[in-house]
Structures are given as C-alpha cells and as structure tokens.
Structure 1
Amino acid sequence: MIKRVLLLLDVQTCNLSNPPKGVPSAPTLRKNIESVLTTARNAKPPPMIVHVRNSGEVGDPDEVGSQGWELMFTPMLENDNEHVVDKLKNNAFLGTRLGDLIPIDAEVVVVGLGSDFSVRATCSVALDRGNEVILIRGAHGTYDRMEILNGGGITPADTVEAEVEEELEDAGVAVLEMKDVHAIFTDR
C-alpha cells in the first residue's frame, strides 16, 4: 500500500537552466531537488516517485520534444515505483492519470516549479482530494512576477514563493524545511 508519494512538478531543463532563462534560484533548486530525490530513492522502502512534466505549446520553452521540455533528473522507470506523467494544465491531476496513481490516503511531498502555478494548483487539488500534503521550502520556485495592476513593477520570485507558502499553509499544507527531508522519508 502506497503511503507516501514524492511529486516532482515541472522539474524540467527550461525552468532549471541558469538565469535568466531559468528561475532566479535555479542553481539552488537543482541542488535541493536532487537532494530530495536522492533521499527518497534511498529510503527503505522508497516512496512512489512521480515526475510531472509540463507539455508546452509550439514556441514555448517547454514545447513537447524540445530540450527545455526534458526532465532535469532522469526517472528510474525500471523501478515500479517511479512514473512520468505529462500534463497540459497547472493542476497536475486534470486530464492525467495522476489521480489513479496517488491514493487518497497517501501523503504527498511536493517539490518543483512554478510555485504560483503548478505547485499552488496541484497542492490545492491534492488537499481537496483528502491527501496530506507537504511542500518543501527551498525545493520549489518560480520566476519574478510582472505586476500589471497598481502601477506595475516586479515582485521578486522569493516574495512570490513566500506568498504561496503562506497561502498553502493556511489551506492545510505542511511547509517543511530542507533539514526535515531525511525524516520525512525515514519516519514511518
């Protein structure tokens, strides 16, 4: 029975390339997400690991088949517990088999991009389904946000990430630190 799932959202080369192409915190995110993935793979027993890949439209940085569309970390598909799910929307459950893979009683650990799009939407839907959800601070990120209203300007990515963490925590997501990762996957 699956009790824990590591969900890697949009961990693709377009998002995790060095800035300005990738998110501002791309070097740190690559290191932290790789650390979370390695810890999960080494756990006994390992959790189910699902790599969710966004499938962009023609001309997008994550256009299907392009270099930017490729996953940053190679899935170990020879393991029955690692899967790749392609999505078209921010909500990774919408129009995909993710809901069939993840039991409603599973704890879902989320890392990836973008905090204010896929991470927010997918965490919210997982909560609505009844899953317990953990978001790892320092292992999710986004781009700076261009403000259109109230005189314009730019909201830095780290501010956007903190806003999303606060919003999700208020909704019921547990926001934990990188120092907690080992305990998440070994505490059974």
Structure 2
Amino acid sequence: MPPSTSRLSSHSVSPPPPALLGEDPWAEYEPWQHRRVLLLIAVQHAMLAKPPQGVPAGPTVGPNIARILDEARKALHPPLIIHVRNTGDQGDPDEPNMPGWHLVHEPLAHEPVVDKPKNNAFANTRLGTYICPEAEIVVVGMQSDFCVRATCNAALQRGNEVLLIRGAHATYDRLDVWNNGTITPASKVEKEIEQEMEDAGVILLDMSDLPDLFADR
C-alpha cells in the first residue's frame, strides 16, 4: 500500500541526542517523524515462557516476532522500533525487575523502551510523543485481547494507520465466567480480536507479507 503524500520520509530522521549520565536521552526529544513504526508490545520473558506461564502460541509467535524485528532492523530505511514493557503488580510474573519482566529482545541504543501501567500503551506514558499522528504503526506482541486491542484502538483514534500481523500476536485461554465458566481457547480469542480490529479499521497482514513490509512503498 503506498504511503499517503502527507507522510514524512524516514530519510530526514536524526538519531537522538547523546545522554548525560542519569538522563533519559528521549525526555526532551521532539516526536519522531518516521512514516513507519514497529511497536513490540509486552514481548517479555513471562509472556513467552513455556506454557502455562507463557501464551499457548508462544512457540510460533515468539520466532515470528523475532523474524519481524530482524527484518525491521536490517531494512534499508528502518522503522522507528519501540519496545513496550508491561509492568505487573507485586507477585505477577511480569513484576518489575523480576525475570519475567525483562524484554526478550535487547533494545538497541536508538530503540526507546516504554513502561506501561495500563492496557493502552499510550495511557500515562511517553509513547505518544515518539509517534507522529501520520505514522503507520505495525503492531506485534501480547496480549491480543488486552494490550494489543487497547493500543490499536488508541492509535486509530490518534489518526494512525495500524497494521496487525496474524501469527505475531497472542493471548491466553479465556475463562468466560458469564457463560457458566466455559473456556474459550486462545486461538479462537486471537481470531475474534483480529475480526474486531479489522472492523475497527486495522489492516490485517500475514507473515507472508513480511518481505515487503519494511520496504519503501
């Protein structure tokens, strides 16, 4: 899909200024004017651990996300890559500074990390200052029916074009308390979210689209 004429080329982007000891190099930085962003949501050790702690689709989704990140990093004009880290409560698998909280993929120096307290990664974080409203956002990560859904909806409300990749987002089985406590398999929940997101305006892609995803279009 060709980018709109209003989108800005990534050629004009400069690296963040050097940080002084103890400073956040992104704190005073203006919104990035990339026309593409790769948003990795909660790609953390707890989520991609061996089930049942990790998501059931982890053995497939984990490698797929790794492939997407690799393609983004080696693109001729890489997108802005942002790692969103979920901050769980005390005792949760993703409790801050516990093993499950750490990111699976070590961010590079120019890849910001955003710690989010809520499902919506834009809420009470600096994420919105890193992404211009004209940017195209590629979303991958966990959990489909919580963080991924809420963040995609928030991005659409900002005016961003949002792309969600099948096979690169996942969640857990759902306990339907309102339906006599039946269990809906995670794979079905993921498909429900894909349909919901597509109806809301998100563009769904497949892993087969990856070779051209970060090429100039």
Tell me which interval the TM-score lies in, with the shorter structure as reference length. Answer: over 0.9
- Between the aligned partners of 1:90 and 1:181, the Cα distance in structure 2 is 26
Pick aligned residue for 2:120 from 72, 91, 99: 91
Q: Deviations over 1:98-127 (max 9, x none)?
A: 000000000000000000000000000000
In the TM superposition, what are the counterparts of 1:116-155 in structure 2 within 5 Å? 116-155=145-184
Supply the distance in 1 between the matched residues of 2:181 and 2:90 (Cα, whole angstroms). Answer: 29
Other structure's SS at 1:138 match = strand
What secondary structure is seen at the aligned counterpart in 1 of 2:214? Answer: helix
Spell out, residue by residue over 1:124-159, the C-alpha distance to the aligned partner (whole angstroms, 9 max, x if none).
000000000000000000000011012111000000
Q: Which residue of 2 aligns with 1:65?
A: 97
Task: Find 1:170's aligned residue among 181, 184, 199.
Answer: 199
Q: Displacement of 1:10 after TM fit?
A: 0.4
**Out of 65, 80, 88, which is 1:33 matched to?**
65
Aligned equivalent of 2:186 = 157
Q: What SS does the aligned partner of 2:177 have?
A: coil
Letter in 2 for 1:158: S
Deviation at 1:95, TM superposition (A): 0.3
Point out the structure with max Rg over C-alpha. 2
Q: What is the match of residue 130 of structure 2?
A: 101
| Structure 1 stretches of at least 4 aligned residues deviating more than 6 Å after TM superposition | none
Deviation for aligned residue 1:187: 3.3
The aligned counterpart of 1:44 is 76
> Which range moved further: 146-155 or 85-94?
146-155
Give the counterpart letter for 2:102 in structure 1: E
Q: CA deviation at 1:64?
A: 0.3
- Secondary structure (helix, strand or coil) at the match of 1:7 reads strand
Q: SS state of the match for residue 95, structure 2?
A: coil
Q: Which whole-Å CA distance do the structure 2 matches of 1:18 and 1:45 have between them?
A: 35
Q: Which residue of 2 aligns with 1:76?
A: 108
Q: What is the Cα deviation at residue 88 of structure 1?
A: 0.4
Mapped partners of 1:150, 1:118: distance in 2: 23
The one-letter code of the counterpart of 1:169 is E
RMSD of aligned alpha carbons: 0.7
| Offset from partner CA, 1:61-86 (integer Å, 9 cap, x none) | 10000000000111112xx3x11000
Tell me the distance in 1 between the aligned counterparts of 2:52 and 2:190. 17
Q: Secondary structure at the match of 1:18?
A: coil
Letter of the structure 1 residue corresponding to residue 165 of structure 2: I
User: How many equivalent residue pairs?
Assistant: 185
Q: Which has the higher helix share?
A: 1
Q: Give the TM-score, by structure 1 length.
A: 0.97
Distance, in Å, in 2 between the alignment partners of 1:182 and 1:169 is 22
Between the aligned partners of 1:181 and 1:187, the Cα distance in structure 2 is 13
If the length of structure 2 is used for normalisation, what is the TM-score? 0.84
